[in-house]
């Protein structure tokens, strides 16, 4: 049965922007409704003005997953420090950062290196279908570490992971051997949590920052990809090299500047800038 959740004028939310901005890989929009899997919930959800109409989960889960308990106007006010981010906030009103499952997010961003979003979605869907628990209605939850750890590299390559297969296998094994890893990372300050994630095979600086931002509420994390690098060079750091590959030193320079410039919610600024990335091609 479909349920309704009223947002109210002081609680801005944009479902399309939130699910369409590339932070999660298990959602598709069909005839105005988004269908996806979050944790053990196969959810259908659509927005009608200030109402969310949804099925497959209770209101408490929907509020937490979509971060509807956070004061979005206060967060955006804190990062609204220059004309570029001000314009991005105006273009993507109501965009929120999801609270995703740590292990799924960890494996997802190992799968996300050097590829595009449709391919990432295919990889995650195959892993879930082959190794996840079947949910009511036929969708599959993403497997936990214990379920994925026994998989061989060959089986992972069957999910079109390519060279990432050994990384996914080794990371699943490490997480299965250390079931408290996520709670430990969550309890650490940002810098220490990032170093902890970098020990997982296949996790580099950008993946670590994405995982911290989307699964651990480490909102000072500022992932830097080619789009964000282009924006930072154009609007904030004009001395950055234009055509050379990004080094770890440059990544840290951009991310460090952004944390200082945007403050404790720098990751929210990053997501709003990423939302308007296509404008930078003009």
Active site residues: 206
Strand 41-48 vs strand 51-55: parallel, antiparallel, or unpaired? antiparallel
Q: Whole-angstrom distance between the N-terminal and C-terminal Cα of the chain?
A: 45
> Residue 126 belongs to what H/E stretch?
helix 117-131
Question: Taking a C-beta distance cutoff of 8 angstroms, is the pair 127, 148 a contact?
Answer: yes
Question: Taking a C-beta distance cutoff of 8 angstroms, is the pair 274, 21 a contact?
Answer: yes
Task: Look at residues 23, 26, 20 and name the one whose alpha carbon lies nearest to residue 210.
Answer: 23
Instruction: Give me the residue label for tokens 């200030």.
Output: 50
Q: Using DSSP, state whether 109 is helix, strand or coil.
A: helix
Q: Which residues contact 45 (CB under 8 A, 6 or more apart)?
A: 15, 33, 34, 52, 53, 54, 55, 62
Give the torsion sign (CA, 246, 194, 269, 119). positive
Any bridge partners for residue 29, and if so which?
34
238/231 Cα distance (integer angstroms): 10
């Amino acid at each position: 049965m479909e349920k309704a959740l009223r947002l109210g004028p002081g609680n801005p939310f944009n479902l399309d922007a939130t699910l369409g901005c590339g932070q999660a890989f298990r959602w598709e929009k069909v005839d105005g409704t988004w269908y996806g899997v979050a944790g053990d919930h196969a959810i259908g959800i659509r927005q009608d003005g200030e109402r969310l109409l949804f099925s497959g989960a209770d209101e408490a889960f929907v509020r937490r997953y979509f971060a509807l308990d956070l004061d979005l106007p206060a967060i955006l006010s804190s990062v609204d420090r220059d004309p570029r981010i001000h314009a991005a906030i105006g273009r993507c009103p109501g965009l929120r950062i999801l609270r995703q499952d740590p292990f799924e997010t960890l494996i997802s961003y190992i799968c996300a290196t050097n590829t595009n979003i449709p391919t990432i979605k295919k990889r995650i869907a195959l892993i879930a279908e082959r190794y996840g628990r079947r949910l009511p209605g036929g969708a599959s939850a993403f497997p936990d570490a214990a379920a994925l750890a026994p998989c061989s590299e060959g089986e992972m390559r069957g999910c079109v992971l390519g060279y990432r297969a050994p990384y996914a296998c080794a990371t699943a094994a490490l997480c299965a051997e250390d079931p408290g890893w996520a709670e430990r990372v969550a309890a650490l300050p940002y810098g220490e949590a990032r170093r902890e994630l970098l020990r997982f095979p296949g996790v580099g600086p950008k993946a670590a920052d994405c995982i911290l931002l989307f699964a651990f509420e480490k909102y000072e994390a500022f992932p830097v990809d080619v789009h964000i690098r282009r924006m930072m060079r154009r609007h904030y750091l004009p001395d950055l090299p234009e055509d050379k590959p990004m080094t770890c030193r440059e990544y840290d320079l951009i991310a460090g500047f952004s944390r200082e410039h945007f403050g404790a919610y720098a990751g929210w600024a990053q997501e709003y800038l990423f939302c308007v990335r296509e404008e930078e091609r003009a």
